[in-house]
């Protein structure tokens, strides 16, 4: 069927109800009623609520929520809710956590809960002198910032510092003011963006320049979460496994092609908890990757080394701008349930736990890669997906998947053949 007649110019689409929008989309795309019913079923998220979270809502996209067991963080046993569509991610955290549980699990810390907002000024005649003029206004800047958010102040947050940088840009020197703000249990984007916008006209006046961008930086390097764990040799399978993991880390540290994949694995764990708690996955991901490149080359977010007793020591450090209040965290029922499962009462605690999950994830990935390879573990779950795609239902899924793995050919055509054999028998 040709779609040449379809028209995506739909005036007033945003003013319609989700149901009306879905009807329009169904007609546009030729969706059958089974498909639209699926879309309209938003599961644990109210359609009305979804409609208030983002624009032009027609349904919701459901992602599995798995629970990682065995995690001990700073002496406390935890169950970790993880929202992910990728197989093996939850299992990886369970396995890594089990192998360091007896040795004490994860210890964590945090550099603070400070966010940075940037104000860009251009066409400043005397940028270095202007820098000092802005710095001289510290008290005014503090008053203006703190005036923006009395609630944040009440909870002990607010303006902490101002920094001004003269940076070289393609268009000449640029004056960049950083507002450094303690945002406590909020992720803080709203708070610091409001402050930056409030400050901007004053910056223009003090510097004599023109102000354009006023926005937070996702390189939240004053909000670093850190986690550390020790894996005893008898838990991980000996010195050769340890050395394989350390060598894998050396590979990532030396090569951006490997570091991208290494860090992607870390984010498999991190983004799953960030998403489960209704936080902004892209903010955390942007911060992580920018931090990984802070030394001028892109490297590893984790480090692995040998303790004096010969055990494997792993650590991680990365920006972790997550909050407990505001945004989807506060209104999404699954996010609220996830926070309840975690038992966290501060953004800092959440950030520290998430860092530990990232380290756990990375340990398991490197261990698998340095030993049996990841396909063995992946294939078991992947085979189930393939079995389902081939039409297996109920108990057939497990049976078909097992046969595929045994035969070493996890392919849909083989799955179809196996399914036919089973059904024929
Ligand atoms: C797959 O999603 C993640 C891994 O590629 C991570 C890694 O290579 O370290 C297994």
- Tens digit of each residue's pLDDT (9 = 90 or more) over 137-163: 999 999 999 999 999 999 999 999 999
| Residue 101: predicted pLDDT | 98
Fold type of domain 376-424: Helicase, Ruva Protein; domain 3 (1.10.8)
pLDDT digits (tens, 9 = 90+) for 26-67: 999 999 999 999 999 998 899 999 999 999 999 999 999 999
Fold type of domain 65-111+223-371: 3.90.770
Closest residue (by CA) to atom 1 of ligand 1?
A: 265
Mutate to test the pocket of ligand 1, among 249, 264, 361, 366 (most ligand atoms within 8 A of CB): 264
DSSP 161-195: EEEEEEEEETTEEEEEEEEEEE-TTB--HHHHHHH
Q: Which residues line ligand 1 (CB under 6 A)?
A: 86, 261-262, 264-265, 268, 365-366, 369, 374
Measure 365 CA to ligand 1 centroid, in angstroms: 6
Closest residue (by CA) to atom 6 of ligand 1?
A: 265
Percent of the chain with pLDDT over 90: 92
Residue boundaries of the structural domains of the chain: 3-53, 65-111+223-371, 114-216, 376-424
Measure 404 CA to ligand 1 centroid, in angstroms: 23
Q: Which residues are catalytic?
A: 86, 264, 280, 378
Q: Strand, coil or helix: what is 313? A: strand
Q: Which stretches within 32-82 are classed as H helix? A: 33-40, 47-53
Measure 258 CA to ligand 1 centroid, in angstroms: 10
Count Cβ atoms below 10 Å from residue 136 Cβ, excluding itself: 11
Rg (CA), the chain: 25
Measure 75 CA to ligand 1 centroid, in angstroms: 28
CA of 252, closest atom in ligand 1? 9
Least confident of 85-99, 266-280, 364-378: 364-378
Q: How far is CA 273 from the centre of its chain?
A: 7
**Do residues 206 and 134 touch, judged by C-beta distance below 8 A?**
yes
Count Cβ atoms below 10 Å from residue 85 Cβ, excluding itself: 10
Identical topology for domains 114-216 and 376-424: no
CATH class of 114-216: alpha beta
């Amino acid at each position: 069927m040709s779609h040449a007649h379809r028209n995506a110019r739909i005036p007033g689409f945003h003013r319609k109800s989700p149901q009306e929008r879905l009807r329009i989309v169904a007609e546009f795309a030729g969706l059958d009623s089974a498909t639209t019913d699926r879309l309209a079923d938003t599961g644990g998220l109210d359609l009305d609520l979804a409609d208030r979270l983002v624009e032009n809502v027609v349904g919701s996209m459901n992602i599995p929520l798995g629970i990682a067991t065995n995690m001990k963080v700073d002496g406390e046993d935890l169950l970790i809710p993880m929202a992910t569509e990728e197989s093996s991610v939850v299992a990886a955290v369970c396995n890594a956590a089990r192998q360091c549980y007896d040795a004490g699990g994860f210890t964590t810390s945090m550099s603070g809960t400070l966010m940075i907002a940037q104000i860009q000024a251009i066409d400043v005649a005397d940028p270095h002198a202007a820098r000092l003029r802005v710095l001289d206004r510290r008290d005014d800047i503090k008053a203006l910032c703190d005036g923006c958010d009395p609630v944040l102040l009440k909870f002990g947050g607010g303006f902490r510092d101002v920094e001004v940088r003269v940076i070289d840009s393609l268009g000449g020197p640029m004056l960049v003011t950083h507002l450094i703000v303690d945002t406590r249990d909020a992720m803080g984007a709203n708070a610091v963006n409001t402050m930056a916008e409030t400050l901007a006209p004053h910056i223009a006046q003090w510097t004599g320049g023109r102000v354009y961008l006023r926005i937070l930086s996702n390189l939240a390097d004053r909000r670093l979460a850190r986690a550390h764990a020790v894996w005893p040799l008898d838990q991980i399978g000996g010195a050769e496994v340890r050395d394989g993991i350390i060598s894998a880390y050396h590979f990532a540290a030396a090569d951006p092609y490997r570091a991208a994949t290494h860090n992607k694995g870390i984010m498999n764990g991190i983004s799953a908890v960030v998403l489960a708690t209704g936080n902004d996955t892209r903010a955390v991901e942007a911060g992580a990757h920018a931090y990984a490149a802070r030394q001028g080359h892109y490297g590893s977010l984790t480090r692995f080394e040998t303790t004096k007793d010969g055990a494997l020591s792993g650590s991680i450090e990365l920006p972790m701008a997550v909050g407990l209040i505001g945004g989807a965290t506060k209104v999404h029922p699954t996010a609220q349930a996830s926070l309840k499962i975690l038992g966290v009462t501060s953004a800092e605690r959440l950030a520290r736990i998430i860092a530990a999950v990232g380290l756990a994830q990375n340990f398991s990935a490197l261990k698998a890669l340095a030993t049996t390879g990841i396909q063995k573990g992946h294939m078991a779950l992947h085979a189930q997906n393939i079995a389902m795609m081939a039409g297996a239902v109920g108990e057939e899924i497990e049976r078909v998947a097992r046969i595929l793995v045994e035969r070493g050919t996890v392919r849909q055509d083989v799955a179809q053949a196996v399914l036919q054999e089973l059904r024929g028998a």
